[in-house]
């Protein structure tokens, strides 16, 4: 799957992709914030949460 910065993924699609790589949704939902942050960093992912819009601007290396 190749995406561009203009592609938007639904929550369901993001969960589907995560499930394909090992079912991490449950672990990331209950893990400590510092451990989740480290996981995303080591996986080459980052994001900025916008609380007013309740959205995340995500990027990948």
pLDDT at 16: 82
- The reply to whether the predicted model has a pTM over 0.75 is no
Structural domain of residue 17, as residue ranges?
A: 11-60
**Is 55 inside any structural domain?**
yes
**Residues 6+ positions from 10 with CB-CB distance below 8 Å:** none
pLDDT at 13: 84
Domain count, the chain: 1
pLDDT single digits (tens) 4-44: 555 677 888 877 877 777 666 666 676 787 877 887 788 78
- For the chain, count helices (H), then strands (E): 3, 2
**Is 2 inside any structural domain?**
no
pLDDT at 2: 57
**Is 53 inside any structural domain?**
yes
**Is 31 inside any structural domain?**
yes
Q: Are 60 and 45 in contact (CB under 8 A)?
A: yes
Whole-number Å distance between alpha carbons of 27 and 50: 23
Q: Are 40 and 46 in contact (CB under 8 A)?
A: yes
């Amino acid at each position: 799957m190749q995406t561009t910065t203009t592609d938007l993924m639904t929550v369901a699609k993001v969960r589907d992709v995560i499930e394909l790589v090992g079912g991490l949704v449950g672990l990331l939902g209950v893990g400590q914030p510092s451990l989740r942050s480290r996981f995303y960093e080591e996986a080459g992912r980052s994001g900025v949460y916008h609380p007013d819009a309740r959205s995340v601007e995500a990027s990948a290396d």
